[in-house]
Every structure is written in structure tokens, then in C-alpha cells.
Amino acid sequence: MTRELEPLTEVRLGMFSFAHMHAASYIHFLGQMEGVTIAGIYDDDYDRGGRIAAQYNVPYFRRTDGLLDQQLDGAIICSENVHHAPLVLQAAGRVGAILCEKPIATTASDGQEMIDRCRETGTKLQIAFPMRFAPPVMELKQQLDSGMLGEIYSVKCTNHGWMPGRWFVDHKLSGGGAVLDHTVHVVDLLRWFWNTEVEEIYAEVGYELMNPGLGIDDVGMLSFRLANGVFGTLDTSWSRPDSYPTWGDVKLDVLGDQGLICVDAFEQNLQVSSDEAGKTSAVNWGSSGDEGLVADFVDMIRKDRAPSISGEDGQRALEVALAAYESARRAEPIALQV
């Protein structure tokens, strides 16, 4: 006799802004999950949010309160960086769980206020670091946990990408350029790998080196030391031209006394040459970190468990990125509190 599976608990989610490009990926994967309902979309830009709402046949809301009144189990916030804090502060206590796009905020004080409000209201706050769910990165984590490399000496990292334009290059909305945009992803992975913190960082930051007239940083080179003694570097930039096959990369070379592991988090792709597109592009065939992230968020809600990636995780990554800017301004290493 085949035992019938119990139906999954319905999870009602609200999407708050489609300013960040990951939002389109999140709603795509959520729409494929059993028992998940998108109760509505809020966006202060009707042409942006209203179009997506029509595409997915869900209600569009011009005001946050309208969507928060829809008996939501969770909120997914993908606004411009500067709006993360006010949206989280509005949603805390009115929903049980929040998934907030990275970086957690544009200032350390805003990030801490978000964490404090969610703690006071019993709201679970998870930060969107999908790279933790990329299969190559997950395999690297397993190998490191097994001690395969022995004593770890160093890690060399890159996180490149196209210059995204739009609000990403408006400092009032983004809080920073390539260094903020890309540093937080890699720092979160390093903290996750070894349960440690960045204790010192030196950075050189370039403005308009790849994109003349941009008005914001588009290149950064970071050198850092982790509290566990591992030394590392991170090349973070918006250096990919429009003709490049992939939007960017996340690569990690980890060196230990027993060997070297090199990981390309976006290796699962096919190279497709298209006359219509006018270039060769990389088309993903493997698992998606975005899918893993939103599936984990839904699972957290259903099981009423702690977030896999906490607000504190987001705050620590933000503090490293902000310290990198401070180091570049002062032209000297910056010590962080660990």
C-alpha cells in the first residue's frame, strides 16, 4: 500500500519591489513550488511592478500597507538598497518572515535597526545570499568541512560582472558601487566556510576606471586577513563588457597544505552563439542558487525554524564592505571588531 503524502502547508508571500534583478528569478521559481501563493506585488514604479503582476496574474499594490494587509506568511524585499531598511521596518511584526535582498542596508546603523526590530517583533529575517546554494560552492563547503585541504593558507576570490546601470550607479539609492555590490557575496561565503570573521582589510577602490563618467566605484581590489589566520584577496568589479559571454563570475581558489581547490560557481552552462544576439552567451543548465535560496526561505516558514542566513550574517558582510571603502579613503588597513 502506498502511503499518501500529507499536503504541504500553504505559504502566502508578498513581493516588495522588483528594482533588483534577482526578483524576477525569485518569483519564477516560487511560481513552480507546490503550496506557495504569491499574494501580490508592491512596487513604487507601476511600469516595473505592474508589468510583472500582470505577467503572473497577481494583484498589484501601489502602497505597502495594501499588500501587508493580505495575511502574508512572508515578505520578499528586492527594492533599491536604500529602501531595504524602511520596508523591513514596516513589515516586521506584520509578517512572520522576511527575505531581504543583499546588502542588508546601506549603513551599519540601518542594518542594526532592522535586526533589532525583527528580534523585538519575533520576525525571522533572512538575507538573500544565493551563492550559498550554488552546487559548486556547496561541494567546496563539504570538502573544507572534511578537512581535505588540511591547514588552510589562503583564498583568492573574484566577483566580476557587467555594469548594471539604473539605480545601482546612483549612490543615494545604492549606497555604493561594485565594491558594495560584490564584496558582501564573497565575504558571506568565507564566513560560512570557516565560521570566522574578517579582522583586517586593505582596499584600493577605482572610480570610473572601466566606465568613464559613471560617478561611482566600478573596480576594487581587497586584501584581508580572517580571524582564523587565513589570508585572502578579492577582485570585485563591474569590468565585463556587454559582449562578454557571461554576466560575471564568482571564483574561489582555496590553498591548503594538502592541495588546492579551484571553484567557478557559474561553471554549469553551455556556450550558445547567436547571430540574433550578436554574441556568444552562457546559458545555464544546472541548479540555480536563486531556486535554492527561495526554497530554503519557504522551508524555514513551514518548519518555523531559524533562518539559514541571518540578519547578523548580512550585517557582518556589510561592515566589511564599508570598511573597504574606509580603507581606500584613508589609504591604510582597517581593523574590524571580531
| Tens-place pLDDT, residues 218-265 | 999 999 999 999 999 999 999 888 777 777 789 999 999 999 999 998
The whole model's pTM is what?
0.93
Q: Which helix (H) or strand (E) holds 144?
A: helix 135-145
Closest CA to 73 of 49, 52, 109, 99: 99
Mean pLDDT computed over 324-331: 98
Helix (H, G, I), strand (E, B) or coil at 205: strand
pLDDT for 213 beyond 50? yes
The whole-number pLDDT of residue 286 equals: 61
Give the whole-number percent of the chain exceeding pLDDT 90: 83
Q: How many CB atoms lie within 10 A of CB 127?
A: 28
* CA pseudo-torsion sign 20, 23, 24, 26: positive
CATH of domain 132-287+310-335: 3.30.360.10
Q: What is the residue-averaged pLDDT of the chain?
A: 93
CA 242, 244, 250: angle at the middle one, nearest 5? Answer: 110
DSSP-derived secondary structure letter, 106: S
Q: Are 27 and 98 in contact (CB under 8 A)?
A: no
Angle at 160 between CA 154 and CA 166, to 5 degrees: 145
Domain with CATH 3.40.50.720 in the chain: 11-128
173 Cα distance to chain centroid = 17
Q: Where are the alpha helices (DSSP H) in 256-310?
A: 289-303
pLDDT band at 2 (very low <50, low <70, confident <90, very high): very low
Q: Is pLDDT at 285 greater than 60 in this prediction?
A: no
Instruction: Identify the pLDDT of residue 1.
Output: 42
Q: How many CB atoms lie within 10 A of CB 184?
A: 26
- Per the model's pLDDT, the better-predicted residue between 244 and 2 turns out to be 244
Q: Which CATH class is domain 11-128?
A: alpha beta
Q: What are the start and end residues of each CATH 3.30.360.10 domain in the chain? A: 132-287+310-335
pLDDT in tens, 263-283: 998 776 677 777 777 777 666
Kindly give the interhelix angle for 289-303 and 22-30, rounded to the nearest 10 degrees.
60
